[in-house]
Structure 1
Amino acid sequence: MRRWGTLTAVCLGTFMLLLDVTIVVVALPDMAGSLHASLGDLQWVVDGYALALAALLLSAGAAADILGRRRVHVAGVVLFAVASLLCGVSTGPAVLVAARAVQGVGAAAMFATTLPLLGSVYQGRQRSAALGVWGAVSGGAAAVGPVLGGLLTEGPGWRWIFFVNLPVSVVEVWLTLRVVPESQGLLAAGGAPGERGGVWGRVDWAGMAAFAGFGGGVTYAVVRAGEDGWTAPGALAAFGCAALALVLFVVVERRAAYPLLDLALLRRPAFAGVLLGAFAFNGVAFGMTPYLSIWMQTLLGMSPVRGGLTLLPMTVAAMIVAVLVGRLLHGVPARLTIGGGLLLIGTGNLCQAVLDAGASWTALAPGFVLVGVGTGFVSPTVAGAALAAVPAERAGMAGGAVNTVRQLGYALGVAVFGTVVTSRMTGTLPGGAAHALAGGAAGALRGRVPEHTLRAAFASGLNGALLTAGLAAMAAGALVLLLVRPGRPATDQTQEPRSPLPARR
């Protein structure tokens, strides 16, 4: 039990926090009806969690280096559980979005400590095996989320997709305290109290704030652009603020003694290529699922369970391929697994862009399988590729960066694809109807808009977004193949993975 107890505890927490990224997608129509939520509200229910997770991952990792990684992990689980309870008892969309953001903060503390905890316990081939299992669990969680969400939504109700986290969190805390050894942080070990600012001076607070401002600003800008138009003053102002936050982040990171991200690493083509692939991956693989779920439930009349089960082809393919990749393709260069996986995901999205007014969910099945296969290639290998692309003393930073851009990519993918869906529907539906339809309010429109028109409009919107996702995935895959070239560190997958722990200073 103790030999693989750490892996069990870490994978349980990882599965739970990543599950909550996608578990809400099939519950969105029920949430909209229960809480009188708009499309923008629904987008923020998804993105509030992903953005908080992305914005705080690197900072949580730095805090864990100071306070102790097991301690921060357990604190994150407790905060995640409290926020899950608040989500479950929410009485309006604003409360739910705020609670989802707090949930993301707890998830960041959990996620940032997963690789360091594994790296402190396992070495050599055991570490390779542990990272393979962790990668497979990460990919499987995102795929299983809609299926489990459908079962809970149709059964006890959508609030139980959050309540179910409470007993799992109790088990996670107990198991972590029982079997996971503490990886001592600087504060616990005495640190270097004479340094300017003390040990807390090693946390890049300004960089954290600037990055959060950039991620939140650009996502808000895309959502506003979908509602008001790309040239609307509110959207342009939000884009301007996001750009300013990005500039500030670059300035802060170049001057910080202990930056969240050493920008010099981006001059390594292999590392830049891996980050680009990770950023695109979560968005193009999963960013369309909220809108496909709304389409299947509101226009095809599916129950939440059936809507979730339609994603089984993707779920099964992703989990099977992820396990096989971890066991059989350890020596394959990262450029092929990541770049090739993105090309498969792009092909899968393009295969789904064939919907019309009479289409059923079966038209999506071949594309779902291809997306699942591509997910199975990318998910278990992208973290190890990031670690191998940088010097050993920067491995912890690289691991945090790749997980950060994955969640940011998902948040932006949901926002961008939602904007494309509604913009394609606007020309054929009366004012405001496009957002109402995309938000799951088809019932309110059926009395004044013919059913065939609603189906044709939504299919057109989905096709446009799927085409966008497919082309983005293909472009990202091609860039990964170009940047992560043979002979560079990221492709040397035959070596034992470097430790994800940063060197002690």
Structure 2
Amino acid sequence: MRTWGPLTAVSLGTFMLLLDVSIVIVALPDMARALDASLSDLQWVIDGYALALAALLLGVGAAADVLGRRRLNVLGTALFAVASLACGLASDAQLLVAARAVQGLGAAAMLATTLPLLGAAYQGRARSTALGVWGAVSGASAALGPVVGGLLTQGPGWRWIFFVNLPVSVVSIALTLRVVPESKAPAGRRVDWAGTAAFACFAGAGTYGVLRGGAQGWASAATGASFALSALALLCFVLVERRVAQPLLDLRLLRKPAFVGVLIGAVGYNGAAFGVVPYLSLWLQTVLGMSPVRGSLVLLPLAVTSFVVALLAGRLLHGAPPRVVIGVGLLLIGAGGLSMAVLDAGSSWAALAPGLTVTGVGAGLVAPGLAGAALAAVPPANAGMAGGAVNTFRQLGYAVGVALFGTVLTSRMEDSLGRSAAHTAAGGGASALHDTVSEHAVRAAFASGLNGASLAAGAAGLVAGALVLVLVRTPRRPEGTGSARPSDRPAADAVSSPPIDAARTAS
């Protein structure tokens, strides 16, 4: 226990927080029925968690350096558990969304501290082994998320996808307090709270604007105000980061095309690969009539293929240029999205299998290479910042993808069903429309909406892949210049596995 206890404790928390990115996907139809939730509510159930995780990750990581990484990890796990209980007990959609946001705050504290804790607990070969096991656990959460969510939803009920976090959190906290040593950054580190608040406002307001644009129209006052607030917050973030002594993100790094390319790849990866998956789950269950378990199994090719390819790519593509591996992976993700845009009123789940598999191959190529590419693009002193930025932009890409592709879905459905019926069907209420709209019309409209969303995701993947191939051209470092290695700079390897990071499907 003394040898592998810290790895067990850290990996347990990581598995739990990444599982919660994807575990809710299969439960969305049941949530909609139980809580009378709208499409916008369901989108926020996903995005509330992902946005909190993305917006607060860098700031919480800096706070952990000052206050103690083990202490903040334990506090984050406890907050995650309390929020999970609140999610399971939620009596309406608004309470569930609020609890999911708090859950995301706890997850940010957990994820930001996992790799620094492992780096402090292990050295040399043991550290490399620990990081490898951590990466495998992260990938396993992607494969198991939809299945666990389907089993719990179809069995004791959707609320148990949150209740199951309680005993796991207790075990994780107990192990962490017992076997994980405390660690801090050198004295003098300060937390950029102003930058954290500005970035959180920028991400939240921008995503809200996309969601309101789809629900109320892009010319509505609420949509315009949201985008204006987001732009103002971004300006404030830039001004703060230029003046603060210890910024969350050194803006000088954005002058490096390679680093900008990696961030574009991170956004495109999670957005294009996983942003449409929630709507596929709704289609499978509410239109095709599948059970939660069967619906989850349909999504497995994405997660399992991603996991297997990531393991093989780490061995077989060692030394390959990161821009080629990541760029080709994103192009495959784009191709997978385009190949899923073939649905019609008579389509079955089998029409998704080829596209999900191709997307999984691409995701398996991209995920392992992002951290290394970020490291190679920045000076070694910025390794931890680069790793945290990649994680942040991955989760931000997922949140924006869910919002944006949902807007595309409903806009296509409105052409044949009208606004009210389209939002009802997209929000899981397809069966409620059969008294006024034929089943064939609903199936045709939903298929058309999914085709539009898949085309948008495919295009995003292709554009991101092309930009990575153009921008990420890493110069060779002369030997002996102190290039960062995973065994020396564990914080930079903090790349959460895909929501269905799981399906990720959702880190």
Q: TM-score with structure 2 length normalisation?
A: 0.92
- Asked whether the 8 Å contact 2:280–2:450 carries over to 1, the reply is yes
Return the letter of the residue paired with 1:163. Answer: F
- The answer to whether 1:496 aligns with 2:485 is yes
User: Structure 1, unaligned stretches of length 5 or more?
Assistant: 193-198
What residue number does 1:111 align with?
A: 111
What residue number does 1:208 align with?
A: 196
What residue number does 1:369 align with?
A: 357
Rate the CA distance shift 1:325–1:431 in 2: closer, same or farther, 3 A.
Answer: closer
What residue number does 2:432 align with?
A: 444
Deviation at 1:250, TM superposition (A): 0.7
Q: Deviations over 1:294-329 (max 9, x none)?
A: 001011000011110111212221121122223333
Of 11-20 and 362-371, more deviation after overlay is shown by: 11-20
- Asked whether the 8 Å contact 2:147–2:296 carries over to 1, the reply is yes
Distance (Å, rounded) in 1 between the aligned partners of 2:338 and 2:128: 34
Distance (Å, rounded) in 2 between the aligned partners of 1:205 and 1:61: 11
- Asked whether the 8 Å contact 1:334–1:493 carries over to 2, the reply is no
Distance (Å, rounded) in 1 between the aligned partners of 2:110 and 2:143: 20
- Asked whether the 8 Å contact 2:146–2:300 carries over to 1, the reply is no
What residue number does 2:168 align with?
A: 168
Of 56-65 and 136-145, more deviation after overlay is shown by: 136-145
What residue number does 2:247 align with?
A: 259
Return the letter of the residue paired with 2:72. Answer: V
Rate the CA distance shift 1:75–1:395 in 2: closer, same or farther, 3 A.
Answer: same
- Asked whether the 8 Å contact 1:226–1:419 carries over to 2, the reply is yes
Distance (Å, rounded) in 2 between the aligned partners of 1:130 and 1:377: 21
Deviation at 1:2, TM superposition (A): 3.5
- Asked whether the 8 Å contact 1:300–1:360 carries over to 2, the reply is yes
Return the letter of the residue paired with 1:499. Answer: R
Rate the CA distance shift 1:387–1:5 in 2: closer, same or farther, 3 A.
Answer: farther
Aligned pairs (5 A) from 1:53-202 = 53-185=53-185, 191-192=187-188, 202=190
- Secondary structure of the residue aligned to 2:169 is helix
Deviation at 1:229, TM superposition (A): 1.3
What residue number does 2:39 align with?
A: 39
Q: Deviations over 1:392-420 (max 9, x none)?
A: 22111111111111111110000001000
What residue number does 1:196 align with?
A: none
Deviation at 1:488, TM superposition (A): 4.9
Residue of structure 2 aligned with 1:379, choices 338, 356, 367: 367
Distance (Å, rounded) in 2 between the aligned partners of 1:455 and 1:493: 58
Distance (Å, rounded) in 1 between the aligned partners of 2:141 and 2:260: 26
Return the letter of the residue paired with 2:248. Answer: L
Aligned pairs (5 A) from 1:235-384 = 235-384=223-372
- Secondary structure of the residue aligned to 2:26 is helix
Deviation at 1:18, TM superposition (A): 1.2
Q: How many residues align?
A: 489
- Asked whether the 8 Å contact 1:154–1:304 carries over to 2, the reply is yes
Distance (Å, rounded) in 1 between the aligned partners of 2:403 and 2:217: 14
Distance (Å, rounded) in 1 between the aligned partners of 2:489 and 2:359: 30
Deviation at 1:80, TM superposition (A): 0.4
- Secondary structure of the residue aligned to 1:2 is coil
Distance (Å, rounded) in 2 between the aligned partners of 1:123 and 1:465: 46
Distance (Å, rounded) in 2 between the aligned partners of 1:471 and 1:43: 21
Higher relative contact order by CA 8 Å / sep ≥ 6: 1 or 2?
2
- The answer to whether 1:17 aligns with 2:17 is yes
Distance (Å, rounded) in 2 between the aligned partners of 1:132 and 1:254: 36
Distance (Å, rounded) in 2 between the aligned partners of 1:267 and 1:5: 42
Q: Deviations over 1:402-447 (max 9, x none)?
A: 1111111110000001000000011100340111000000121011
Alignment RMSD (CA, Å): 2.0
Deviation at 1:69, TM superposition (A): 1.0
Return the letter of the residue paired with 2:423. Answer: H
Deviation at 1:94, TM superposition (A): 0.8
Of 279-288 and 359-368, more deviation after overlay is shown by: 279-288
User: Structure 2, unaligned stretches of length 5 or more?
Assistant: 493-507
Distance (Å, rounded) in 2 between the aligned partners of 1:350 and 1:431: 26
Rate the CA distance shift 1:140–1:416 in 2: closer, same or farther, 3 A.
Answer: farther
Rate the CA distance shift 1:494–1:401 in 2: closer, same or farther, 3 A.
Answer: closer
Of 104-113 and 127-136, more deviation after overlay is shown by: 127-136
Q: TM-score with structure 1 length normalisation?
A: 0.93
Rate the CA distance shift 1:283–1:380 in 2: closer, same or farther, 3 A.
Answer: same
- Asked whether the 8 Å contact 2:376–2:474 carries over to 1, the reply is no
Of 1-10 and 168-177, more deviation after overlay is shown by: 1-10
Distance (Å, rounded) in 2 between the aligned partners of 1:345 and 1:12: 29
Rate the CA distance shift 1:216–1:495 in 2: closer, same or farther, 3 A.
Answer: closer
Return the letter of the residue paired with 2:93. Answer: P
Deviation at 1:116, TM superposition (A): 1.5
- Asked whether the 8 Å contact 2:380–2:482 carries over to 1, the reply is no
What residue number does 1:50 align with?
A: 50
What residue number does 2:456 align with?
A: 468
Deviation at 1:115, TM superposition (A): 2.2
Deviation at 1:493, TM superposition (A): 13
Distance (Å, rounded) in 1 between the aligned partners of 2:183 and 2:361: 36
Return the letter of the residue paired with 2:192. Answer: D
